[in-house]
């Protein structure tokens, strides 16, 4: 048996590649127990396209693209113009509506902002690449609603789209959790490949600052992308 983690006798790389729901514990316990931190330094054979949707997704993509500028080509989308402008990411799409603010908790707002113009810009960004990773933190309005629309309107022939998503902390409340779960079910019904991370798992990092916890989570995202993009014959 090779060094990939096996979950119920199925290799982790296969589960991730096929979009099977794998828990945060499955992934992180494997990396930490097997000491595969060097995977984060592994050279990718070509740049990977990543898309950040909403405030949280944009923050993840900003971290990855600045930490590993030779590894990722990135683009972010947000309805909050101020938040979008503040991000140190070259490619940006402002999801325009009647004002320049976010969608709050209105997922329908986020869904409706993904129009034909946005889809064409994303397709132009993806170009001829065969794989793209989309990040969003679920529970709010913009990112949560937008990924639902993307799962319907972005797919192209021979394009492998992987959604890397987080669910809210329990203390954020049932409404945010329900919005997240409804979106996950929506993506599942659209045959989207999703890997779901619960923010509650960050609480196990101990006495770290919240910023350090999220940075550690971002590093784990980087490792998972490496695992998926380097998986062979799956």
HEC sequence for 104-171: CCCHHHHHHCCCHHHHHHHHHHHCCCCEEEEEEECCCCHHHHHHHHHHHHCCCCCCEEEEEEEECCHH
142 lies in a domain?
A: yes
How crowded is the C-beta side of 208, counted as CA atoms within 13 Å?
14
**How far from chain centre, in Å, is Cα 104?**
20
Q: Using 50, 70 and 90 to split pLDDT, how confident is the model at 168?
A: very high
Please tell me the pTM assigned to this model.
0.83
27 lies in a domain?
A: no
Number of CB atoms found within 10 A of residue 43's CB: 8
89 lies in a domain?
A: yes
Which of 189-193, 195-199, 228-232 has the lowest average pLDDT?
Answer: 228-232
Range of the domain at 127: 46-218
Question: For residue 228, what are its two tokens?
Answer: 């998926």
23 lies in a domain?
A: no
Q: Write the CATH number for 83.
A: 3.40.50.1440
Q: Using CA atoms, how far apart are residues 177 and 171, in angstroms rounded to an integer?
A: 10
Number of CB atoms found within 10 A of residue 71's CB: 21
* Total domain count, the chain: 1
66 lies in a domain?
A: yes
208 lies in a domain?
A: yes
pLDDT for 124 equals: 97
Q: What is the pLDDT of residues 35-66, one digit of tens each?
A: 444 544 555 567 999 999 999 999 999 999 99
């Amino acid at each position: 048996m090779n060094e990939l983690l096996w979950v119920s006798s199925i290799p982790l790389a296969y589960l991730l590649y096929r979009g099977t729901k794998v828990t945060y514990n499955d992934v992180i316990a494997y990396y930490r127990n097997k000491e595969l931190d060097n995977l984060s330094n592994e050279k990718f054979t070509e740049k990977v396209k990543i898309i950040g949707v909403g405030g949280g997704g944009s923050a993840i993509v900003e971290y990855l693209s600045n930490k590993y500028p030779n590894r990722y080509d990135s683009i972010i989308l947000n309805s909050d113009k101020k938040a979008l402008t503040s991000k140190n990411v070259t490619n940006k799409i402002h999801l325009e509506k009647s004002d320049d603010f976010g969608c709050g908790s209105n997922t329908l707002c986020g869904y409706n902002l993904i129009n034909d113009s946005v889809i064409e810009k994303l397709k132009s960004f993806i170009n001829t690449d065969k794989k793209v990773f989309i990040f969003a933190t679920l529970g709010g309005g913009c990112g949560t609603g937008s990924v639902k629309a993307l799962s319907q309107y972005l797919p192209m022939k021979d394009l492998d789209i992987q959604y890397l998503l987080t669910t809210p902390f329990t203390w954020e409340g049932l409404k945010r959790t329900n919005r997240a779960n409804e979106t996950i079910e929506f993506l599942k019904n659209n045959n989207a490949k999703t890997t779901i991370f619960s923010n509650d798992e960050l609480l196990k990092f101990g006495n770290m600052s919240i910023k350090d916890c999220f940075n550690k989570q971002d590093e784990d995202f980087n490792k998972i992308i490496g695992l998926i993009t380097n998986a062979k014959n799956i």
